[in-house]
Amino acid sequence: MTVLTPGERASDAVTEAARRRTFAIISHPDAGKTTLTEKFLLYGGALTTGAGAVKAREGRKAVTSDWMEMERQRGISITSTVLQFPYRDHVINLLDTPGHRDFSEDTYRVLAAADAAVMVLDAAKGIEPQTLKLFEVCRERELPLLTFINKWDRPGRDALELIDEVEQRIGVMPTPVTWPVGIPGDFRGVVDRRTGRYVRFTRVARGATEAPEEILDADDAAAREGDAWTQASDELSLLSEIRADHDDELFRAGETSPTFFGSALTNFGVRLLLDAVVDLAPSPAPRVDEDGKARPLDAPFSGLVFKVQSNMDKSHRDRIAYLRVSSGRFERGVVVTHARTHKPFATKYAHSVFGQERETIEVAWPGDVVGLVNATDVRVGDTLYLDEHVAYPTIPSFAPEQFSVVRVRDTSKAKQFRKGVAQLDEEGVVQVLRDPAFGDMAPILAAVGPMQFEVAVHRLETEFGAPVELSPTAYTVARVTDEESSAALRGMRGVTVLERADGTRLALFESKFWLDRVAAEQPDLRLDPLVGARLAG
C-alpha cells in the first residue's frame, strides 16, 4: 500500500469529494428510471451508441440468480445496483433503488448512502399512490430532492397541475428550473428559468445520440413556437408570481425541489438534469458519527455499510456488503477494522458492482461505493474504518406493517431454516422477530409489504433448501418498547412483545386504534414509533 503523508491525504480526499455527486434515482415502476439511467450514461460518454443502450438494458434483465428470476417474472426491481461514470470534470455515483413500495425500507437504506435523490415522475400519472411511500421516505430523510417529470413527448397532464400535486402529496415545494414549451405529446423544448433562454430540442432516431439543442432568445422563440410559446410565457409569469424559485438553502434542507421537464426516451432535457446534479446537488460532506462528531473528509478511511446482499449469482454464492466511503482514501487490500466487532477485515476483494458485472476497484474516495465480497459478519449499518476509531449511527429500521409466522414444512430441514432466516435477517430482507419463550422454530417475519415475504419464502426454499409456510397474524402496528413496559404490555389483549436479533423489543398491536387507546390509558409505557411509521400506507 502506498503510504501517504497526512498533507497529501488531506488535499486529495477533500478535492476528490468535491468532484463527486452521489445520488439515487427513485421512481414508480415504469416511470422511466432505467431509460433515464441509460441516458445519463450516454451523456457521461459511457454509452456511445443506441445499440449499447439496448445491450445495457438486456444485460440488466438477463440475470441469473433465483430471486432475480422473480424480479423478471414480476417486472420489478428488488436488487439495487451502483453505477459510476464521469461527467464534465466530475465523478457521478448513481445508486439504483427498488421501484416498489414494499421495498421502501431498502430504498431508505440506499438513501443513507446518497447525498441527493432524483425523483422521476411519469407526466401522465403524476404521483402514484402505491409509490407515494417511497417519496415520503426521501422527504423523511431530508435529502435534497430533484424532480424530473418524464415522458413529456407523449400525452400527459398539465404542468402546473403536476407541480401542485407534488407539493400537496409529498410536502416538498417544486421550484421549476426548466419549463416545457409545448403540451405533453407536442414537446418542443424548455425554458431555462435561470437565464430566460429557450432550449429547443431536435429528435434523433431512437434517442441513440444526444439530442441537439438550439438556444434561442425570447423573440426568436416566440416567432418559432407561436401559441406554445405564449402559453409557456403565461405559465412562467405565474411561477414568478408564486415565487417558485430555486433557493439553495431550502433545497439542501429538503424543503424545495428543483424541477425539470423532459423525455428520457428522446433525450430531451436529460443534459439539463445531469448538469443540475453537478451544479446543484451537494458533494459528499463530513459525516456525523454516533457521538455527534463530524469526521473530516480527510480523516483516515471510514465508511458505512448500507446494503448487504447474498447469493446474487449462483456461480458466486457469496455475500457482498455495499459500503459508502465517508472519509479518507480507500485502497483495496488494506486491512480495516469492523467497528461493531472490533475485528480486522481484509478488503482484498473489493469491487464496483453494477448488476452482475463486477470490476475490481483499487481506490475509492468519499461518496464512492465499494462492494466488499465475502463480508461474512458485516451487517447493514456497520462501520469499517482505518486507524482512528469511528462508528456511524446505524440505519434505523423501518416500521413494518405486516407480520406473519414462518414455519419450516419439513422439520428435518430445521438447520437450513435457521440459517436461512438468520441470513435474511442480517441482509434486512425482512425483519425477524422472536418470542424468547418460543425459540427459533416459529419466528415472526415483519415487512412493509407482501412482496418482501415473497422474496423471503422464495429464497428460503431455493437457496437454503427449506420450504416454509407463512401464517399471517392479526398485528398491523409496531412500536419500540423496553423491558419495563414489556411486562405490562404482555398481559394485554391484542398486544404481543417480540425481540429482534439486535435486542430491540417491539410491541405489536392489532390496530392503530388499539395502540392509541393503550398509549392514552397508560402514558408511562414506552411506545416509540419506528422510522416511516407516520408515513402514509
Q: Which residues form the interface with ligand G4P (CB under 6 A)?
A: 27, 29-35, 99, 150-151, 153-154, 263-265
Listed residue (204, 205, 200) closest to 222, CA to CA: 200
CA distances from 108 to 8, 211, 369, 454 (A): 35, 34, 16, 20
Angle between helices 450-462 and 414-427 in degrees, nearest 10? 130
Grid cell at residue 284: 459528499
Grid cell at residue 59: 444485460
CA angle 261, 263, 268 (to 5 degrees): 85
- As a three-state string, the secondary structure of 227-256 is HHHHHHHHHHHHHHHCCCCCCHHHHHCCCE
CB nearer to ligand G4P: give 75 or 212.
75
Residues 77 and 80: their CA atoms lie apart, in Å, by 7
Residues 109 and 308: their CA atoms lie apart, in Å, by 10
CB 29 within 8 A of CB 100: yes
CB nearer to ligand G4P: give 36 or 364.
36
| Distance in Å, CB of 175 to ligand G4P, minimum | 22
Strand partners, 407: 469
| Distance in Å, CB of 168 to ligand G4P, minimum | 23
Residues 272 and 199: their CA atoms lie apart, in Å, by 10
116 membership: H or E segment, kind and range:
strand 116-122
CB nearer to ligand G4P: give 99 or 428.
99
- Enter the DSSP assignment of 226: T
CB atoms within 10 A of CB 124: 16
Listed residue (122, 134, 135) closest to 265, CA to CA: 122
302 membership: H or E segment, kind and range:
strand 302-310
Pairing, β 505-509 against β 90-96: unpaired
Residues 320 and 339: their CA atoms lie apart, in Å, by 18
CB 269 within 8 A of CB 32: no
Residues 45 and 86: their CA atoms lie apart, in Å, by 8
Listed residue (456, 471, 480, 304) closest to 397, CA to CA: 480
User: What string of DSSP letters covers 371-407?
Assistant: EEET-TT--TT-EEESSS---PPPPPPB---EEEEEE
CB nearer to ligand G4P: give 40 or 179.
40
Residues 324 and 307: their CA atoms lie apart, in Å, by 10
CB nearer to ligand G4P: give 118 or 421.
118
CB nearer to ligand G4P: give 14 or 124.
124
CB nearer to ligand G4P: give 29 or 44.
29
CB nearer to ligand G4P: give 99 or 284.
99
CA 385 to chain centre: 23
